[in-house]
Structure 1
């Protein structure tokens, strides 16, 4: 064989090898499910078990606030995401979510009675289409440090008490913060405040800034800050999950549902409109409703689940205000960004 022929054969063999390798990689490439959720909703063990059972890969992204969730959904592609019933409405309105085929969610039949009739839960159904399936829930009460606060506070207004200047942890989110102040102000509907009410709430949040050490994003962050600083009060955005994390870290804390009531959320799984594999997304939702997976929420993360009734449900006989869609969320977000950026009170 000539040198040219040998070189040609070598080149041909090289390219055939590359093609075979590429083809082999393509044939055995696993499907990927892109999950957007909150801390604790899909921990490593839960993700790994799903990947092994269905021979797929999960690309997991965590969010730290409703504003963060909205920004991520609008900037990247995901398949399934966790969202509360109130926030879900704008995803439906903007065509960012798609109906779920409940025939593919047989584990829904195992959920507690209060979650059986999805039509009866505000925000889940639109024109007979089901857009989300309940997964976990909690009220957002007030956490207090027993070493610094000798008498259990009776109202969220304690966060504004001058005695706790620099010793309060508030949550970094626009929607809950304004609704919380609306409750304290006694407005007719804290989720749909008028412009004058929103202006007054803004001024109250600017006043609160004097007492706030920082605005936290995750339950873990709040736990670290509590251990490092003399924190007196925490707005418990993550409810029982936060209590568990703090107590396991050795914190001597109490927890109250204030007299004006506590905001409460119901988080659900929803599927994005641009999901590349909605059937796999439905398998994920059904999987998380397996008894062992859902109970892990409670056992490992202190979150209520929708399969097993809690013997210590802190919402029993307490004033709970379930989240509702808010009027003009963009206006709240714009004001909130100005508040936490440190703009002078006179600017408002």
Structure 2
């Protein structure tokens, strides 16, 4: 697959991971939570229909490229006709899954959506024994959606947030300080790029956790009001030096390719694309740690076609489908067997750390910020939720 075609594809999928500017936790629908939902115990024949909600790029039926199609083979094999509603933002996705007028069977949820659906009872726990191949998925990813002994999703794809730099201009950075420390950011003023997402607060929190231990930051996705205010000040001081807050991965690629950017937050995708294009860039894992994200298939609380949904969970977890998804979207597959045999090329698998358990164990995966603190502060303080994060992000980077 050419870098150009993959760049177009990832532009669509990037919405799922990056466009988190909506205040997800403050957009109540007025409905009470669904309540207790039951885990399926057995499966029967498919019901003939499957209704899904996705962000762009999560499901392909050949319309973007006739060679990229994992829907038609599924329909022929199972008899389940797939009808998917493509939304533009995580907020739209959450609203549809809340809406009692709709009964969607499943959703390809990014972390900020997944956490909210679980908290509100809008997702049905998954009986993982009914998903062939589930145990082949990365254990670390499987654990991300486990709550009170129940699993609420099947991992689909994942990625991490690196520090990317131009090797001709920037001395090899070892810390997030290169991007967030005001003095160091000034060295490359006007040539920095940062993800345009409230979740980018977590990377700044990692930097501040190491710099100011008195703040006692534990989980970078669980911040008290005092900690969030401190991070917001860091972002406000950084703002004059930022060239671009990127919405789409292609924006960061263009900035580096044109020499307008020399340092910034990036995914393995951008590093891979630019490297293949012979651009002098490298991606590093900062000493403070690296954050990441996972998209997962979840079963809706008002599922109408559970048998077809479980067949879809099995299908999308299979190595062959995982290979297609990874190649088309430019993200890491949740099933490392996608790199076995003659499927994904070794260069791709190495670049995206597929099957690298040591790397996965170091990634701090995103979850929805809530008022309930996690980590060392659990039960001791009240933390800030996603609406708080969104307000602080806008104040620090837009105003």
TM-score exceeds 0.5 = yes
The within-5 A match list for 1:45-194 is 45-53=69-77, 54=79, 56-61=81-86, 69-70=93-94, 73=97, 78-84=104-110, 88-112=114-138, 118=142, 121-122=143-144, 124-149=145-170, 151-160=171-180, 161-174=185-198, 176-186=199-209, 187-194=217-224
Distance 1:258 1:38 in 2: 30
> How far off is 1:39 after superposition?
3.7
Go from structure 1 to structure 2 and tell me whether the alpha carbon gap of 1:230 and 1:221 turns closer, same or farther (over 3 Å shift).
Answer: closer
Query: Which moves more between the two structures, 223-232 or 263-272?
Result: 223-232
Cα 1:282/1:172, change in 2 over 3 Å? farther
**Rg comparison, structure with higher value:** 1
Aligned to 2:343: none
TM-score w.r.t. the length of structure 1 is: 0.74
Counterpart position of 1:34: 52
Distance 1:113 1:319 in 2: 13
CA drift of 1:202 comes to 1.0
Q: Assess, with a 3 A threshold, how the Cα gap between structure 1 residues 43 and 145 changes in structure 2: closer, same or farther.
A: farther
Gaps of 5+ in 2: 1-47, 63-68, 210-216, 340-348, 371-384
Distance 1:189 1:108, change over 3 A: closer
Structure 1: which 5+ runs fail to align?
1-29, 344-348
User: What are the within-5 Å matches in structure 2 for residues 292-331 of structure 1?
Assistant: 292-308=320-336, 312=350, 313=353, 316=358, 319-327=362-370, 328-331=385-388
| Residues 225 and 272 of structure 1: CA distance in aligned 2, closer, same or farther (over 3 Å) | farther
Distance 1:85 1:334, change over 3 A: closer
Deviation at 1:213, TM superposition (A): 2.0
Give the number of aligned pairs.
303
- Deviation digits for residues 214-247 of structure 1 (CA, Å, limit 9, x no counterpart): 22222233323433451112312xx323333333
RMSD (Å) for aligned C-alpha atoms: 3.2
